Amino acid sequence: MARLNDVAAALARRGFETRVCRTSAEAADAVRQELAKAGSVGFGGSMTIGGLGIQAMARAAGKTLFWHGDPELPAERKLETMRGELGCDLFLLSANALTADGVIVNIDGNGNRVAASIFGPRRVVFVVGRNKIVEGGVEEAIARIKREACPPNCRRLGRKTPCAATGECADCSSPDRICNVTVVLDRRPRPTPMLVVLVDEDLGY
């Protein structure tokens, strides 16, 4: 927990609200408190958020969901739902990597997740497991993402990329490539309140 407290302090210096949780159950409760204040909720395709059961929690609470990964969502409504995520009350996602000095790094394929993490939603909440933290800077964060997150995500999504087959980044030009947009949140964007929930468990990729 000491390490997470240090990272939380670094995030606070960069303008982010923070909360440190010992368990995923505690993190889910923190998100539940955020849901209570929102009418509409968007989801950024996060395995961390999905693992906490937040979508079911939001649906049970009667919230309007913008969730492009919903298995029941018709394909023709996916793009419309992605656009809806940009204007929701609460947008929930994780970070692909977080530096020890409080910089949030995400890599995206379509750009919808990272776009909503910057501007649009009335509030943004990141839930980040301890496994996402790197001791070095942004270059190490990007290396971590391309090593630990992109290959398993490509396999999960059924993408035909070299990393899905080999587990190693080839900096490919595949049309299925999911690392097209890199966003570095060095400080909190002024118009958007942001909370980072740090969890003392390994969560997501």
Residue 45, pLDDT above cutoff 90: no
Residue 46 structure tokens: 């996060």
Architecture of domain 2-135+181-187: 3-Layer(aba) Sandwich (3.40)
pLDDT digits (tens, 9 = 90+) for 121-148: 999 999 999 999 999 999 999 999 999 9
Q: How many CB atoms lie within 10 A of CB 1?
A: 12
Quickly list DSSP for 155-174: HHHT---HHHHHSS------
Distance CA 43, CA 93 (A): 6
Quickly list DSSP for 72-99: TS-GGGHHHHHHHHTT-SEEEE--SEEE
pLDDT digits (tens, 9 = 90+) for 93-115: 999 999 999 999 999 999 999 99
pLDDT at 1: 83
What pTM value is reported for the model?
0.95
Residue 92 structure tokens: 């929930």
